Copies of this chain bind each other. A is one copy, B any other.
Amino acid sequence: MSKNLTSRSEDYSKWYNELVVKADLAENSAVRGCMVIKPYGYAIWEKMQAQLDYMFKETGHQNAYFPLFVPKSLFEAEEKNAKGFAKECAVVTHYRLQNDPDNTGKLRVDPTAKLEEELVVRPTSEAIIWNTFKGWVQSYRDLPLLINQWANVVRWEMRTRLFLRTAEFLWQEGHTAHATKSEAVAEAIQMNNIYAKFAEEFMAIPVIQGVKTESERFAGAEETYCIEALMQDGKALQAGTSHFLGQNFAKAFDVKFANNEGKQDYVWATSWGVSTRLMGALIMTHSDDKGLVLPPNLAPYQVVIVPIYKNDDQFMKISKQAEIIKASLKSEGISVKYDNRTTQRPGHKFAQHELQGVPVRLAIGPKDLESGTVELARRDTLTKEVVDLGNITSCVKAQLEEIQDSLFKKALNFRSAHITKVESFEEFKTVLEQKTGFISAHWDGSSETEDKIKEITKATIRCIPIDSDFENGKCVFSGKPSKQRVLFAKAY
C-alpha cells in the first residue's frame, strides 16, 4: 500500500489517475485504450447497474441483446449517425488466423478469410436495433417498444483515460419506438429524469438537466437531453444523455406501422445511455486526498470491522465480538466485511480501507472489549467516535444515512458556489480561468458564436438548462439579443 497519493491541489489529473489504480478500481490493459475493470471497481458498477435496471423495469422497459457487429451497409444507412461515428470505428475484416509460414509458432491473418462485407464493432446500436425493429413493428398494437440493452461498445478514441474515455466501455443503451412524436419526446424526458434521480439520490451527485445545442447533439438526434455534473476541479462532466431521434432511424430503416385508422406512418424513436464513465463522475465528485469516498448506496461493503490485538487470545475474543456485530448489521441490510487478515497490521488495513472509501470503519481493541465499546470512524468527515456496543447497529445505520445525505449536500454546495453569472466576455474568461465551474451567460443561439467561444476559451455549452427562466439579455460574445442563459464550462 503506497501512501503517496498525489494531492488534488498539486495535480488533479494525476491524483485521479493514481486513485483509480491504487484503489483497485481499474487499470490499463495490453490493448491500447481498453481498461481492465478490477473486482472492487466492478462491484461498484454492479450496484449502479442493479439500481438502474430496477428503475428501467419499473417504467416498463425490458432487456434484450443485439449483435456486437454491425454490417457496414447497415451502419451507413442513417447518414448523420454514421458520419458522427465513422472516425472511431473498430472494423472486423477477416474471420480466421492461420500459421504464419515465415514465423514458426506465430499466427497471421488468413488472407483468404476476408469478409465480403466489413463488420463495424458497435460504437452504439441504433443501426442494428432499428434494422431489427423493422420486423417487430407492424401495427400500433406493437407499440411502444421499450427496450434496453446492457453491453460493451467500442469507440476508437485517440486520447483515453480510465473510465472517462476508453476505447471499449460498458454501458446500457435504451432504444424505444413510439406511435407519436409527443410520446417519444415524453419518453426521452422521462429517461433523463430517471438519470437525474439516479445520479442525485443514489450516487449523491447533483446534476443539471438540460438540452444540448445543435453542435453538441448526438449524431442522428433531433434533441439531446442530458444531465451535467460538476467535478471538484471545476470542470463539467456529461453523466448521461437521452435522445429524441424523431423519425430519422425509422426512415433510414423503413420502420412503418399501421395506426389505429389503418394509415401507414413512420415510427418515432428515442435512445438513451449511461456508461462506466459514471465511475469517473463518482470518483471526482466525492473523493479526497486520502483516496476514494463512496456514498453508502454504492459501496461494495458499507462497513469494515478491523480487530486490534496483540495476541491470539485477544484476537479470538475480538473476532467473536466482531462476528456478532457483523450479523446484527447484516440483519439490517447493511453490507459488512470483517477484515480478519493476519498478514496485515491494523495501520495498513486502515490506510487501505480509507483509500478504497469504505464509508464506516469499526475498530475493536482489547480496551473496547472491557468497556463494551467500538470505535466508529466516518470516511467522509474522517471523524471518530466511541459507541456503546448496545447502540452499534442503530448508530451505524444512522451514520450511513447521514453520510449519503451529507455527500450530496456537500457536492451541491460546491456546485452552487460554482455557477457564476457573467455579463461580459472578459468576465467570462476570468471566471473560467480563476474560479472555474459553470458559467451562466447569454448566448445568441448560433453555432458560429459557440464555436468561437470554444476556440478561444476551450469552454463549451454544456446545456441549455431545462428549469431556467426566460430572461432578455445580450450574447456575452456577439452582443446579439438572447432570451435565456445557457451554461458554459470546460468539460471532461
| A positions within 8 Å CB-CB of B | 27, 29-31, 34-39, 42-43, 45-46, 62-72, 74-76, 79, 82, 86-99, 105-107, 109, 118-121, 128, 131-132, 135, 141, 147, 151-152, 154, 156, 168, 170, 343
Can you report 10 A-B residue pairs in the complex whose CB atoms are below 8 A from each other? A29-B67, A30-B74, A31-B70, A34-B68, A36-B65, A36-B132, A76-B105, A76-B107, A86-B99, A87-B98
Bound complex: CA of A68 vs CA of B43, how far in Å?
19
**A36 and B67 in contact (CB under 8 A), knowing A105-B79, A119-B31?**
yes
Please give, as numbers and ranges, the residues of chain B lying within 8 Å of A147 by CB-CB distance: 39
Query: Chain B nearest CB: distance from A121 CB in Å?
Result: 7
Is A156's CB under 8 angstroms from B68's CB? no
Since A36-B67, A69-B90, A95-B156 are in contact, a sample of 20 more A-B pairs with Cβ atoms closer than 8 Å, ordered by chain A residue number, is A31-B71, A34-B68, A34-B69, A36-B65, A38-B64, A68-B68, A72-B107, A76-B106, A79-B105, A86-B97, A88-B95, A88-B96, A89-B97, A90-B119, A91-B95, A91-B97, A92-B93, A92-B121, A93-B93, A96-B156
Q: Which 3 residue pairs of A and B lie closest in terms of their CB atoms, listed nearest first?
A: A39-B62, A34-B67, A37-B65
Contact in complex: B90, A95 (CB < 8 Å): yes
B46, B63, B87, B154: which contacts A96 (Cβ < 8 A)? Answer: B87
Is chain A's interface secondary structure helix, strand, loop, or mixed overall? mixed
- Cross-chain contact B46 with A63 (CB below 8 angstroms): yes
Q: Give the shortest distance, in Å, between A328 (CB) and chain B (any CB).
A: 21
Report the minimal beta-carbon distance from A70 to chain B, rounded to whole angstroms: 7
Residues of B within 8 A of A88 (CB): 95-96
Shortest beta-carbon distance from A9 to chain B in Å: 30
Q: How far is the CB of A389 from chain B (nearest CB, A)?
A: 29
A62: chain B residues at CB < 8 Å are 39, 42-43
| Chain B residues with CB below 8 A from A43, complex form | 62-63
Q: Which residue of B lies closest to A103 (CB)?
A: B76
Q: Is the CB of A128 within 8 A of B90?
A: no
Q: Is the CB of B93 within 8 A of A94?
A: yes
In the complex, the answer to whether A63 meets B92 with C-beta atoms within 8 Å is: no
Given the contacts A91-B93, A107-B76, A29 and B66 also touching, CB distance less than 8 Å = yes
Chain B's closest residue to A120 (CB) is: B97
CB-contact partner of A30 in B29, B131, B156, under 8 A: B131
What residues on B are CB-neighbors of A132 within 8 Å? 27, 29-30, 36
Contact B86 A107 (CB under 8 A): yes
Q: How far is the CA of A298 from the CA of B210 in the complex (A)?
A: 41
Nearest chain B CB to A351's CB is how many angstroms away? 17
- Partner among B36, B66, B87, B92 whose Cβ is within 8 Å of the Cβ of A92: B92
Given the known interface contacts A42-B62, A128-B29, the answer about A95 and B105 at a Cβ–Cβ threshold of 8 Å is no
